[in-house]
Amino acid sequence: MAEKEVMLTRAGLARLEEELDNLRIVKRKEVAERIKQAIEFGDISENSEYEDAKNEQAFIEGRIITIEKMLRNAKVIEDDEREAGVVSIGSTVTLKDIEFDEVIEYKIVGSAEADPLQNLISNESPVGRSLLGKKEGNIVDVDAPVGKLKFQVLDISNK
């Protein structure tokens, strides 16, 4: 089965590569040292320090595998691939929430780098999916888990 292509912005690719380097170079050493120290305490069968360190090691190794897989299947969206004035992955979009008369700014990114708390929304999310291909002035209806949302596209930046 073919693996799913992972859409990334150039910044998202850099963040994943940085995280991978940190996990490989720093975190692996730290957890190996914790395991070594825990073993020195003696009987590992009832050693919570050892168990915690082994669990952290498993998490780190799993995350490394996940990031390596994402990078292997990455498709980087370059600035020059995006059409000016049209929402696409990598676009920063200024929206007006018509119901609440609020202005919101989102950057549309691939699902691997989505972080709603940082206003980085996935192209696969209800809002992201609804915005793709839209232009300034368009009204967008979104079927979201919280109900129907309605936005007007005020500005699109593809920088």
Asked, for residue 1, whether it belongs to a domain, the answer is no
**In whole angstroms, what is the distance from residue 126 CA to residue 114 CA?**
13
Instruction: Identify whether residues 36 and 62 lie together within a single domain.
Output: yes
Q: In the chain, how many domains are there?
A: 2
Instruction: Identify whether residues 33 and 97 lie together within a single domain.
Output: no
* ∠ CA 146-149-150, rounded to 5°: 175
Spatial CA neighbour of 93 closest among 103, 83, 102, 101: 103
**In whole angstroms, what is the distance from residue 138 CA to residue 98 CA?**
12
Instruction: Identify whether residues 109 and 88 lie together within a single domain.
Output: yes
- pTM for the whole structure: 0.74
Spatial CA neighbour of 154 closest among 67, 91, 72, 73: 91
Is residue 145 scored above 90 in pLDDT? no
**Residue ranges making up the domain that contains 62:** 6-77
The model's pLDDT over 7-54, given as tens digits with 9 standing for 90+, comes to: 888 888 999 999 999 999 999 999 999 888 888 877 677 778 888 899
Look up residue 67 and give its two tokens.
Answer: 């990031």
The model's pLDDT over 79-137, given as tens digits with 9 standing for 90+, comes to: 666 777 899 888 999 999 998 999 999 999 988 889 989 999 999 999 999 999 999 99
